[in-house]
Structure 1
Amino acid sequence: MTTRRDGGCLCGAVRFIALGEPMRTLQCHCRFCQRVTGSTSYAESMYPVDAVQFSGEPMARYSHRSESSSRQVHVHFCPQCGTTLTLTFERWPEYRGISRGAFDDPNSVSISSHIWTSSAQTGVVLPAGTDCFQFARADLAGSPQAPARFDTPRMARTGDG
């Protein structure tokens, strides 16, 4: 039986069903994700595009050019309440990032890595035993990057810098 996770926006105008297990769930600390959430980071579960079905109101979309790749990142959100539900990517058109907080049970997916920790805000703690990447998981050519792993929780940044 295929795993099914339901979710939706704050007001309930947009709902979704994600089928199967996510490829990974990551916490991104880049400045784009900080701004798109108005918070310290964005947690997303990566699914194949065709594994997610939407119902209710059509989502609104904002497109932003990534500073690192120069490719478009598309933010899909509820036109009523503004909840960011998903990201899609010009660079990876076959994948869709689902906002972890939009799942009815956000704890049903576990964060497997933290990315762009070089941009993390002061006060952010990186957990022990989790892959942490200073930038992305792979460089622009697609080569995997080496993660850091910590034996104990660690502050992502200390002081003002």
Structure 2
Amino acid sequence: MLLEGSCHCQAVRFSVESHEPVPFMRCHCSICRKTAGTGGYAINLGAVYETMQVQGNENLSVYRATMEGGQPSTAHRHFCKLCGTALWVWDPNWPELVHPHAGAIDTPLPVPPSVTHMMLGSKPDWVQVRPEPEDETFDAYPDESLAAWHQRHGLAF
């Protein structure tokens, strides 16, 4: 599925091919929550890095979070340096993948049949998670990848 996205001020626009476009996974870690999630979580999609096309590269900036122990994260969090919109995450440990933030996607996205709430051990008390019966919850990382979840639900694109 071709995804098209942009920042709020439209200075950065992008497109990317995604095999995992269903916005089902809500990450409550402090990095995602503070850089891209105002509801107490962020939603990242899975896409193929080599298909990424970007307009407005000069308006991009990258943030690398500091991890416990003071080491920089390997993840490169791309955002618009004009309006601050979080756009996508790319990590050289998985160079073939890119993870656009669902909130930056302009293409209509499929509705997920269930939601995976992850990194709940990091969420603040003010964030109330009310999972539906079919949802899954994890204090840290889930048991399956974005690709495996899509395959299990018959949603491979």
Mark yes or no: TM-score above 0.5: yes
Higher relative helix content? 2
Correspondence for 1:53: 53
Aligned twin of 1:130? 135
- The CA deviation string for residues 93-122 of structure 1, in whole angstroms up to 9 with x for no partner, is 322110101111454363752210222233
In structure 1, the residue matched to 2:35 is: 36
- TM-score by length of structure 1 reads 0.70
Distance 1:30 1:108, change over 3 A: same
SS at match of 1:7: strand
Structure 2 gap ranges (5+) = 144-157
Structure with the higher fraction of residues in strand conformation: 1
* 1:71–1:91 CA contact under 8 A, matched in 2: no
Q: Secondary structure at the match of 2:75?
A: strand
Segments of structure 1 that go 5 or more residues without pairing to the other structure are 138-146, 148-161
Q: Could you state the TM-score of these two structures normalised by the residue count of structure 2?
A: 0.72
> 1: CA distance between counterparts of 2:108 and 2:79?
17
Kindly report structure 1 stretches of 4+ aligned residues shifted beyond 6 Å.
none
Percent identity over the alignment? Answer: 26
Residue range with higher mean Cα deviation, 74-83 or 19-28: 19-28
> Which string of whole-angstrom CA distances, capped at 9 and with x for unpartnered residues, describes residues 71-94 of structure 1?
422110112111010111243332
Counterpart in 1 of 2:155? none
Q: Tell me if the contact between 1:42 and 1:99 (Cα under 8 Å) persists in the aligned partners.
A: yes
CA RMSD of aligned residues (A): 2.6
Matched, 1:6 2:8: no
Tell me, in whole angstroms, the C-alpha distance in 1 between the residues paired with 2:105 and 2:115.
17
Q: Aligned runs of 1:1-161 on 2, under 5 Å?
A: 3-22=1-20, 25=23, 26-37=25-36, 39=38, 40-58=40-58, 59-67=60-68, 71-105=73-107, 107-108=109-110, 110=112, 112-121=115-124, 122-137=127-142
